[in-house]
Amino acid sequence: MRTLVRGVLTGAGYLRQSWSLVLLASALVGAPSPVTAEDLRYELPAAGSYALPVIDRVSDYEMLGADNRRGPLLDLAAGQCAVVSFVYLSCTDARGCPLALATLRRLDRLLADRDDLADRVRLVTVSFDPERDRPPQLASLRRHMDPRADWRFVTAASPTELRPVLRDYGQDAVPLLTSNGAFLGRMRHVAKVFLIDSEGAVRNIYSSGLMDHRLLLRDLETLLLTDAATPRP
């Protein structure tokens, strides 16, 4: 399986392989995919049985949406929280942006089926490649992802506008260059997904190994179903 996927990553013609197209078609129409997430190799802790302490605080930022309109990145009401992932569309690191996108897509489906959570959680995908990932590209991404819950796609007007956002979240993104200084089209980054509460507090950060939609949902349950009963000072 790994070899086949490397083929998808590196061989342009590989998308023509029929099994890939089955996957594409299945995902496009929302039919059950023949490929599902790996089984968890551990038991999820019970919701509310553990703490999600405040790790950091972030500000809200004016960003550019897939609809080409400016608006706040988070824009959370009291009692809401956000799951924020930073990606760039040219990423080919299977453990990076593709995994973050797929995780949010699976989470989006889970949330859509949860009346108690769906209107209290906002998913936000932020591009950290604002020069190439413009609103039309994000709109295309949104169409492909076909959100069922509240999932927004935003970018920045410029790298300058993006810089303080990345700094505030602690999201690294370094353009990769050849020895001659030419841009390779890729960025070095640590894939991170952030769980943010309505006060702008970072309550968890997910990365390789524990970036999983079921774990995220359990944290959302813990945060939204137990935090409300325990007002913070």
Site for other proteins in 151-180 (CB under 8 A): 170, 172, 174-179
CA distance 4 to 125: 28
**Position among 43, 77, 160, 229 found at the interface with other proteins (CB under 8 A):** 43
The separation between the first and the last C-alpha atoms of the chain, rounded to the nearest angstrom, is 50
Cβ nearer to other proteins, comparing 56 with 67: 56
Residue 15 to residues 12, 18, 100, Cα–Cα distance (Å): 6, 8, 21
Position 141 contacts other proteins (CB under 8 A): yes
Position 45 contacts other proteins (CB under 8 A): yes
Give the nearest distance from C-beta 157 to other proteins in angstroms.
19
Name 187's bridge partners: 175
Q: Which residues contact 43 (CB under 8 A, 6 or more apart)?
A: none
Position 205 contacts other proteins (CB under 8 A): yes
Give the nearest distance from C-beta 115 to other proteins in angstroms.
26
Cβ nearer to other proteins, comparing 115 with 180: 180
Site track for other proteins across 47-86, x = CB under 8 A = --xxx-xxxx------------------------------
Stretch of 62-70, 72-80, 92-100, 110-118 lying at the interface with other proteins (CB under 8 A): 92-100
Tokens read off for 161: 């506008």
Tokens read off for 70: 């400016």
Position 126 contacts other proteins (CB under 8 A): no
The residue behind tokens 């349950």 is 221
Position 207 contacts other proteins (CB under 8 A): yes
Give the nearest distance from C-beta 71 to other proteins in angstroms.
23
Give the nearest distance from C-beta 227 to other proteins in angstroms.
16
Position 93 contacts other proteins (CB under 8 A): yes
Position 109 contacts other proteins (CB under 8 A): no
Q: HSE on the CB side for 162, CA within 13 Å? A: 22
Contact (Cβ atoms closer than 8 angstroms) between residue 206 and residue 104? no
CA distance 150 to 121: 7
Q: HSE on the CB side for 68, CA within 13 Å? A: 3
Position 33 contacts other proteins (CB under 8 A): yes
